[in-house]
Amino acid sequence: MRPVNPYLDGDLMALAEQARRFAIARVAPGFQERDRTRVLDRTLMAEMGAMGFIAPELPEAFGGLGMGSLAAGVIHEEIARADLSMSYVNLLASLNGQILARHGEPKLVGPWLRRLTQGEALIALALTEPRGGSDAANLRLRIERDGGDYVLNGEKTSISAADQADAAVVFGRTGSVESGARGVTALFVPLDLPGVTRSRFDCHGQRAIGRGSLFFENVRAPLSHRLGEENKGFVQVMQGFDFSRALIGLQALGVARVALEETWAHVAERQAFGRPLSAFQGVSHPLADLDTQVEAARLLCLQTLWLRDRGAPHSAEAAMCKWWAPKLAYDVVHQCLPMFGHGGYDRGPMEQRLRDVLGFEIGDGTAQIMKTIIARARVGREAVPA
Ligand SMILES: Cc1cc2nc3c(=O)[nH]c(=O)nc-3n(C[C@H](O)[C@H](O)[C@H](O)COP(=O)(O)OP(=O)(O)OC[C@H]3O[C@@H](n4cnc5c(N)ncnc54)[C@H](O)[C@@H]3O)c2cc1C
């Protein structure tokens, strides 16, 4: 029985249960195989879409279920328990879905959103450039107007699903370099346009979704592909990251929770010196310690989504979720793995989880950047300039 908490009512608990059953039956069996093949399962994506598990928070007109952010949260958590890489389908859809729904031209984005929620399209988010990701407003990819088109030239790097995505939300510079965040525009770019090429990295973890570079050479996208206003892409569109940061927290904690559950079961059963391993405080107390922190971090993530659903400010809370949960999840899996002795070190679910969660200590912004966001929320930008 899962513990009741104030954020999840009966409907959300039932949705979580449905997602868990699906994840156990359909997602978990291919967890290690997808790590080897490095290919997302499109059939599984479509099944997730058919179940209503992809971006359920989007309005029904866009193929969503018109549910709240917490619905997205519990689904992310359950799919990530089975395979963190596969839950990127949910994450990219929720992050990009709200950006497109809020800032895109309905005639353009409507059909894409319906494909997205049905699991028939994968959309990447392309912000990071080779010269740096933390200083995210300092972009160089050029976006220039030419008649009825924008023309893109430049490179995006470390982009999740770069070589598997069908389209990308691309941030680039329309203003001068000196204009900083105020000269950035966001565009929706189908990745089959002439002039787009891609590469794939050999990642430590999250290998089924993978990362890579996107190269744009005189790529033309109609003006109608702009998301938000020109030069305001950074300020308007980046607000979506508060949502993804809380979701990432729940993904990472989903992995932590399943690792803890398996480890508790193992140490209660495995014997050494005539007792179960759990009889030794050196075994059970570190697990109890981390279990406590996971419970607390999970409540913080749920609260952040709850605040979002009420239209309340939640940037600081989202940044807390984003730095704390992936670090905690890594510590949890790191603690759990040796509890299985030599077996934990074999290629298997535990070592894959360790590799997978580590990616979220970097992707979507590092802990240092998140702590700067929290500090700015507390004492203001002038007191925390960089
Ligand atoms: C698994 C994964 C998935 C990713 N997915 C995507 C994606 O889909 N789309 C996308 O656009 N990007 C993605 N990224 C890129 C990611 O967002 C960047 O790697 C990240 O923002 C850091 O940028 P960087 O790698 O250029 O490091 P840098 O910016 O060079 O930073 C290097 C180190 O310096 C520290 N640092 C930098 N500035 C400061 C400061 N002011 N104070 C203190 N410390 C500082 C950083 O915290 C970091 O530890 C992904 C990365 C990973 C690992």
Tell whether the model's pLDDT for residue 386 goes beyond 80: no
- With beta carbons less than 8 A apart as the criterion, state whether 237 and 346 touch: no
Q: Quick: pLDDT tens for 213-229.
A: 999 999 999 999 999 99
Q: Please give the residue that has the higher pLDDT: either 200 or 240.
A: 200
Q: What is the DSSP string of 329-361?
A: HHHHHHHHGGGGGGGGGSSSHHHHHHHHHHGGG
Best probe residue, ligand 1, of 90, 99, 129, 158 (max atoms within 8 Å of C-beta)? 158
- DSSP-derived pairing of the beta strands 123-126 and 167-173: parallel
User: Counting beta carbons within 10 angstroms of the beta carbon of residue 324, is it exposed (0 to 12), middle (13 to 18) or buried (19 or more)?
Assistant: buried
Q: Quick: pLDDT tens for 86-118.
A: 999 999 999 999 999 999 999 999 999 999 999
pTM of the model: 0.97
258 lines ligand 1 (CB under 6 A): no
- With beta carbons less than 8 A apart as the criterion, state whether 113 and 101 touch: yes
Q: Quick: pLDDT tens for 366-378.
A: 999 999 999 999 9
Closest-CA residue to 164 (of 204, 139, 201): 201
Structure tokens at 243: 């949502």
188 DSSP 8-state letter: E
C-alpha 134 – ligand 1 centre gap (Å): 5
Residue 196, Cβ neighbours under 10 Å: how many?
17
Measured between alpha carbons, how far is 349 from 346 in angstroms, rounded to an integer? 9
CA 233 to chain centre: 20
Closest-CA residue to 44 (of 100, 102, 88, 9): 88
172 lines ligand 1 (CB under 6 A): no
C-alpha 361 – ligand 1 centre gap (Å): 9
130 lines ligand 1 (CB under 6 A): no
Residue whose entry in the numeric block shows the structure tokens 């050196």: 282
Nearest atom of ligand 1 to the alpha carbon of 124: 8
- With beta carbons less than 8 A apart as the criterion, state whether 301 and 326 touch: no
C-alpha 152 – ligand 1 centre gap (Å): 23
138 lines ligand 1 (CB under 6 A): no
